[in-house]
Chains A and B, each alone.
Chain A
Amino acid sequence: MERGTALRQTVLLLVLFVGFALVPVLSTSKYHMLLAGHILLWGLFAVAFNMLWGVTGMLSFGQALYYGLGAYSVGLMAKHVGAGWFLPGLVFGLLGAVVLSVAVGLLIIRVSGVFFTVLTLAFGQLAWQITFRWYNFTGGDDGIQGIIPPGILGNGVVYYYFVLVVVGLSIWLLQRIARSPMGVLLRCVRQNPSRVPFLGQSVRFSQLRIYVISSFFSALAGALMAGIDNFIHTDMLYWTTSGEVILMSVLGGIGQFFGPFVGAGVLIVLQDVVGAETQYWPLMIGIVMMVMVLLLPKGLVGEFQSLRARLKSGGAPR
């Protein structure tokens, strides 16, 4: 990757970080902070997802499995052990995500393309079924309420900054991975998998590695979300959650590192403004998805960039 792009991305990351850091200072309502927290965590979830799809070409329809795993690890600890076990719950969730994603990953990377997508969906729905039916342990459809982070993290503003720092670090890390030789290899897996073995590299191992990394950060987003909402529900594991994170990525643009983050922001603000007014939110996002796939496949960020490139070159169509 060129140095200019790398520099611009780092600057963008810093600008975003400072912008989100100012939210509690500038805003008087707690609601804006909640909204900003949601954008941060969904943004992390979407960026982690896009490492799988946009970068490596593995379309997973089951990342809700790990998102929910993180959330339920925190929630179940709080429910069965004690409210003080928030952070251990988070760590267990991350470890659990790594173990589970290695096990599931070994099974599902045996197939590719559509089959891979379908299997991720099936495993996600399996986890949802188990959580939904195991009422005594998980609370089933009632979810788990009253998850308050312990100590000083119980303060909303402190927790917000905690989330901001963790998300900032995670996205910086993911950006490093995307730019590293490993990131280049992952793009090669997407574009020309038969060539990877000639480089002395393994397609399967690369796929498994990024699957585990992506799942790790999905679980992190889910676990932190439990602290923002103070409430978790089986919907976090449902297939629509996986669908939503895909939509965010497509909306923002899967070809750009920050595309999914932008998509998350746009979709959450849209849901806040429009979703409250209509009971037909799925219809709305269905239409948005259709428009993006048919007319703007590069996503908002990608289409904006090609539009700018076209204007720069004197308006001549490329």
Chain B
Amino acid sequence: MDVSFIAMQLLSGLTMATLLFLVASGLTLIFGVGNVFNFAHGSFYMLGAYLAYQTVSAWHINFWAATLMAAVGAGILGMMAEFLFLRRIYGRSEEGGFQILLTYSFILVIDDLVKMIWGTEYKSLLRPAGFHGSITMGGLTMPTYNLAIIGIGVLVAVLAWLILTRTRPGRVSRATALDREMLGAMGVNVPRTMTVVFGIATALGGFAGALAAPLRSVTPGAGIEVIIDSLIVVVIGGMGHFWGAWLGALLLGEVNSFAVALVPEWASVVSYVAMVLCLIFKPEGLFAPRQVRKA
């Protein structure tokens, strides 16, 4: 195992980590802010991939514009789902279970709607113009598209952090997490905040799906694989913690990348093992603050 092999795997792990972070950050955002667990988050990822495929292949729109349209589309659908359905069960006793069931029904409905519209066969999307090749740095070859994804991921992370900590909407969302009633008493429209945050969360999922589409083929049923991966990320990182999601994604991405290279047959099992180990030694998440949260 030489240095260039290790560096290569590190970089490819970083690409995967970035995509994982984009998906998981949406999941952790809506959980952290609204205490809503969106089991269908992976389905919005899948919708994003299909929307990007549709805009690029059928309407011949520039790929980067298509990723933004996919994000907006997934965001609008997410807001509709929250406004029409999820909102109705807030505050019900044993809400957590019913949230999971309701969002589970979203998975079933979205999966079949996708099959109705786009069929069951695999779709593939070409990398955008200018990002087909790779560049060589110090004897290391790296596809430019992967580098672009990593750059975008860093940009989104910094932007999201700035919005959450430095702007008024960000502070309002964080306050929603802490005390919804007090916030309402202070004149903030809490239900609208919830809808918007849900929309932003699903938009992040859709954006990740669109970005990932040229790397992985687009298939119905991709949602469940993605949701499980991002769940492992948030379990490792600590649910509801923004930087925890980032570190969890980094860890899982790297572990996965090396597993694919070294034990390709059992790569998918390795991430579960990582999660189990984490659960045994630190069930509240590796990067969670010290106080133990009991949901």
Contact = CB atoms under 8 A, between A and B. Distances in A.
Contacts of B224: 239
A6 B110 CA distance: 43
Contacts of A59: 96-97, 100
A97 B158 CA distance: 47
Nearest to B111: A282
A239 B231 CA distance: 15
4 nearest A-B residue pairs (beta carbon): A286-B108, A113-B295, A283-B112, A289-B105
18 contacts: A108-B279, A110-B283, A111-B283, A111-B295, A114-B96, A115-B235, A121-B228, A122-B232, A126-B272, A129-B268, A239-B224, A243-B104, A285-B108, A286-B112, A289-B101, A290-B105, A293-B98, A297-B92
Nearest to A59: B97
Given A107-B279, A282-B111, A114 B37 contact: yes
B104 A289 contact: yes
Given A110-B283, A121-B228, A286-B107, A129 B102 contact: no
A280 B111 CA distance: 10
Interface string A258-301: 00000000000000000000001011011101100110010000
B276 A293 contact: no
A286 B106 contact: yes
B88 interface: yes
Contacts, number: 102
A236 interface: no
Contacts of B210: none
Nearest to A117: B100
A34 to B, nearest CB: 26
A57 interface: yes
Contacts of A160: none
B38 to A, nearest CB: 10
Contact of B105 (A115, A118, A129, A293): A293
Contact of A126 (B88, B265, B269): B269
Contacts of A122: 228, 231-232, 235, 272, 275
Contact of B279 (A110, A283, A297): A110
B227 to A, nearest CB: 9
Interface residues of A, number: 38
B265 A250 contact: no
Interface of B: 31, 37, 85, 88-89, 92, 94, 96-102, 104-109, 111-113, 115-116, 224, 228, 231-232, 235, 239, 265-266, 268-269, 272, 275-276, 279-280, 283, 294-295
Given A239-B224, A294-B85, A114 B112 contact: no
A250 B279 contact: no
Contacts of A113: 96, 295
Given A119-B279, A122-B275, A294-B89, A250 B101 contact: yes
Given A53-B97, A294-B102, A283 B109 contact: yes
A129 B109 CA distance: 24
Contacts of A114: 31, 37, 96, 99-100, 239, 295
B116 A280 contact: yes
Nearest to B107: A286
Given A61-B100, A119-B235, A294-B88, A112 B109 contact: no
Contacts of A294: 85, 88-89, 102
A32 interface: no
Contacts of A133: 265-266, 268
A166 B268 CA distance: 38
B294 A112 contact: yes
A182 interface: no
Contacts of B113: 283
A246 interface: yes
B240 to A, nearest CB: 11
B112 A129 contact: no
Contacts of B266: 133
Nearest to A190: B94
Nearest to B94: A57
Nearest to A111: B283
Contact of A246 (B88, B101, B265, B269): B101
Contacts of A290: 85, 102, 105, 109
Contacts of B235: 115, 118-119, 122
Contact of B295 (A57, A61, A115, A119): A115
Contacts of B104: 243, 246, 289
A103 B111 CA distance: 34
Nearest to B294: A112
A130 interface: yes
Interface in A137-189: none
Nearest to B120: A279
